[in-house]
Structure 1
Amino acid sequence: MFGFSRLSAEGKVGVATGVVFFSILISRTVLSERVDVGTRASLFRVQFVLFVNSLLLLGSLYIWKRVVTRLCGARHLEPASTWTHRCWRAAVLLFLALAHCSYLSMFYLVDTEPHWLSMLSFSCLGMYVILLFLLVLFGCASRVLQMFSKGSAVTVSDSSRQTVLALMMTALLAMYGLFNAAQPPRVVEVEVPLEKLPTSMDGLKLVLLSDIHLGPTVGRSQLHRIVTMVNQLEPDVVVIVGDLTDSQVTRLRTAAEPLGLLKPRLGSYFATGNHEYYTADVDSWFEFLRSKGIEPLHNSNARVSRPGQTQDWICLAGIDDLEASILRYPGHGMDVQKALSDCSEKYPIVLLAHQPHAAKQALQQRPDINLVLSGHTHAGQFFPLTILAFLVNPYFCGLYSISEHTSIYVTPGTVYYGIPMRIGSHAEITQITLKSA
Structure 2
Amino acid sequence: MAIFRQLSLGAKAALAAGTVFVSMVVSRSYLAESLEFRAWRCLFRLQLALFANSLMLLGSIYIWRSTISNLRHSPAAESACFQLWKMIVVAFLALAHSSFFTMIFLVAEEPYLFSLVAYTCLGAYVIMLCFLCVLSGMEQACQLLAWRAGRAVGSLDKTRKLALRPALVVVVTTVLSVVGLLNAAQPPAVTTVEVPMHRLHSSMNTLKIVLLSDIHLGPTVGRTKMDMFVRMVNTLEPDVTVIVGDLCDSEASVLRTAVAPLGQLRSRLGTYFVTGNHEYYTSDVSNWFALLMSLNVQPLHNENVRISATGAHSEDDDWICLAGVDDIEANILHYTGHGMDLEKALEGCSPDHPTILLAHQPLAAKRALQARPDINLILSGHTHAGQIFPLNVAAYLLNPFFAGLYQVAESTFVYVSPGTAYYGIPMRLGSRAEITQLILRPAP
Shift of the 43–76 alpha-carbon distance from structure 1 to 2, 3 Å rule, reads closer
Contact 1:350–1:370 under 8 Å retained in 2? yes
Contact 1:370–1:406 under 8 Å retained in 2? yes
* Residue 38 (structure 1) shift: 4.1
**2:366 alignment partner, SS class:** helix
Look up the match of 1:4.
Answer: 4
* Residue 3 (structure 1) shift: 2.3
Shift of the 76–117 alpha-carbon distance from structure 1 to 2, 3 Å rule, reads closer
**2:147 alignment partner, SS class:** coil
1:90 to 84, 87, 90: 87
Look up the match of 2:263.
Answer: 260
Structure 2 residue 133 is the aligned partner of structure 1 residue 136 = yes
CA distance in 2, matches of 1:100, 1:181: 21
Query: Unaligned stretches of 5+ in structure 1?
Result: none
Contact 2:111–2:222 under 8 Å retained in 1? yes
Look up the match of 1:69.
Answer: 69
1:167-316 pair list within 5 angstroms: 167-307=170-310, 310-316=316-322
> What one-letter code is carried by the residue in structure 2 that aligns with 1:87?
L
**2:378 alignment partner, SS class:** strand
1:34-183 pair list within 5 angstroms: 34-35=34-35, 38-75=38-75, 82-150=79-147, 152=152, 155-183=158-186
Q: Which runs of 4+ in 1 moved over 6 A?
A: none
**2:259 alignment partner, SS class:** helix
CA distance in 1, matches of 2:36, 2:265: 35
Contact 1:37–1:330 under 8 Å retained in 2? no
Q: Pick which of 12-21 and 147-156 moved more.
A: 147-156
CA distance in 1, matches of 2:37, 2:145: 56
Structure 2 residue 412 is the aligned partner of structure 1 residue 406 = yes
CA distance in 1, matches of 2:75, 2:6: 27
* Residue 432 (structure 1) shift: 0.2
CA distance in 1, matches of 2:34, 2:322: 36
**Percent identity between the aligned chains?**
53
Contact 2:142–2:153 under 8 Å retained in 1? no
> What one-letter code is carried by the residue in structure 2 that aligns with 1:109?
L
CA distance in 2, matches of 1:316, 1:303: 6
* Residue 387 (structure 1) shift: 1.2
> What one-letter code is carried by the residue in structure 1 that aligns with 2:130?
F
* Residue 167 (structure 1) shift: 1.1
> What one-letter code is carried by the residue in structure 1 that aligns with 2:432?
H
Q: Pick which of 34-43 and 5-14 moved more.
A: 34-43
**1:44 alignment partner, SS class:** helix
CA distance in 2, matches of 1:116, 1:352: 35
Q: TM-score, normalised by structure 2?
A: 0.94
CA distance in 1, matches of 2:266, 2:336: 32
Q: TM-score, normalised by structure 1?
A: 0.96
* Residue 30 (structure 1) shift: 4.5
Contact 2:76–2:82 under 8 Å retained in 1? no
Question: Could you list the per-position Cα deviations for residues 145-171 of structure 1 after superposition, in whole angstroms to 9, with x for gaps in the alignment?
Answer: 111101746733223323211110100
CA distance in 2, matches of 1:150, 1:344: 68
1:377-416 pair list within 5 angstroms: 377-416=383-422
CA distance in 2, matches of 1:432, 1:294: 19
Q: Pick which of 16-25 and 185-194 moved more.
A: 16-25
CA distance in 1, matches of 2:282, 2:76: 54
> What one-letter code is carried by the residue in structure 1 that aligns with 2:99?
S
1:335 to 326, 336, 341: 341
CA distance in 1, matches of 2:284, 2:320: 30
CA distance in 2, matches of 1:82, 1:23: 44
Query: Unaligned stretches of 5+ in structure 2?
Result: none
Look up the match of 2:430.
Answer: 424
> What one-letter code is carried by the residue in structure 2 that aligns with 1:287?
A
* Residue 318 (structure 1) shift: 0.3
Q: Pick which of 176-185 and 25-34 moved more.
A: 25-34
CA distance in 2, matches of 1:274, 1:400: 23
> What one-letter code is carried by the residue in structure 2 that aligns with 1:98?
L
* Residue 70 (structure 1) shift: 2.6
Question: Could you list the per-position Cα deviations for residues 379-398 of structure 1 after superposition, in whole angstroms to 9, with x for gaps in the alignment?
Answer: 00000111111111111101
Question: Could you list the per-position Cα deviations for residues 150-194 of structure 1 after superposition, in whole angstroms to 9, with x for gaps in the alignment?
Answer: 174673322332321111010000000000000000000000111
Aligned positions, number: 434
CA distance in 1, matches of 2:116, 2:143: 40
Question: Could you list the per-position Cα deviations for residues 373-416 of structure 1 after superposition, in whole angstroms to 9, with x for gaps in the alignment?
Answer: 00000000000111111111111101111101111000000000
Structure 2 residue 352 is the aligned partner of structure 1 residue 355 = no
Contact 1:130–1:170 under 8 Å retained in 2? yes
CA distance in 2, matches of 1:279, 1:246: 6
> What one-letter code is carried by the residue in structure 1 that aligns with 2:85?
W
**2:272 alignment partner, SS class:** strand
CA distance in 1, matches of 2:435, 2:71: 45
CA distance in 1, matches of 2:54, 2:153: 32
Contact 2:385–2:396 under 8 Å retained in 1? yes
